[in-house]
Amino acid sequence: MIKVAVTGNIGSGKTTVCRIFESLGIPVYYADQEAKKLYSDGDVIGKVKDLFGDSIFNKEGRLEHARLAAIVFSDPQKLQQLNNIIHPLVLEAFMNWTKSHHEVHYIVYESALLFESGFLRHFDHSILVTAPRVLAMSRVMRRDNSSVEDFEKRADQQMEEAEKHKLADHIIRNDESIALIPQVVELHNIFQNQ
């Protein structure tokens, strides 16, 4: 089985690209969504409480993601500490997930932090989805009903797109100047024929 990773900075459209792969019948593992599910695990909750205290949990004991985000996107060290808890668990869950898809020729793994996490070595191909920062910001602000400041805090925690270009095997431009679907189909055909 070929393992393909899709990444891109916030607002680049990597999820849209992955939805196109899904429409072609390719299983996609959404790492960021799966990471959020881990916050209901007792061991993870304990580690997060040890690191950040009780203030990021509501009265029912559920994690307040907005409070946690406000902390980690303002403090790179705290973000790294949180990633050290979550990333190994996400990778383990992904490896287990791949076992249930052994009959397909390739699978896709979507992650905003593919390069930052050091997970690139686990994949046969990497795809970087790119978009101009201004366009990405407008997408995120519309999607999340967030401010420019919120976008900037999150975007500043990610590796520069120019650095990601050097690491990626394939680039998909999502700048509205070139159609997205043909770019995905072209890569799909490459992967299917390997």
Query: CATH number for the 2-33+88-192 domain, one of 3.40.640.10, 3.40.50.300, 2.60.40.1930, 3.30.470.20?
Result: 3.40.50.300
- Choose among 86, 137, 85, 141: nearest CA to 111: 86
When the pLDDT of each residue in the chain is averaged and rounded to a whole number, the result is: 92
For residues 64 and 49, what is the distance between their CA atoms, to the nearest angstrom?
A: 12
Instruction: Reply yes or no on whether the pLDDT at 45 is more than 90.
Output: no
The structure's pTM equals 0.89
Hey, is 132 helix, strand or coil?
A: coil
Distance between start and end Cα atoms, the chain: 10
For residues 69 and 39, what is the distance between their CA atoms, to the nearest angstrom?
A: 13
Contact criterion met (CB below 8 Å) for 82 and 72:
yes
Cα angle 122, 1, 93 (rounded to 5 degrees) comes to 50
Residue 61 has phi, psi (to 5 degrees) of 90, 10
| Residue at token pair 């500490």 | 81
- Going by pLDDT thresholds of 50, 70 and 90, the confidence category of residue 40 is confident
Q: Where along the chain do its domains lie? A: 2-33+88-192
- Going by pLDDT thresholds of 50, 70 and 90, the confidence category of residue 116 is confident
For residues 47 and 26, what is the distance between their CA atoms, to the nearest angstrom?
A: 35
What one-character DSSP code corresponds to residue 119?
Answer: G
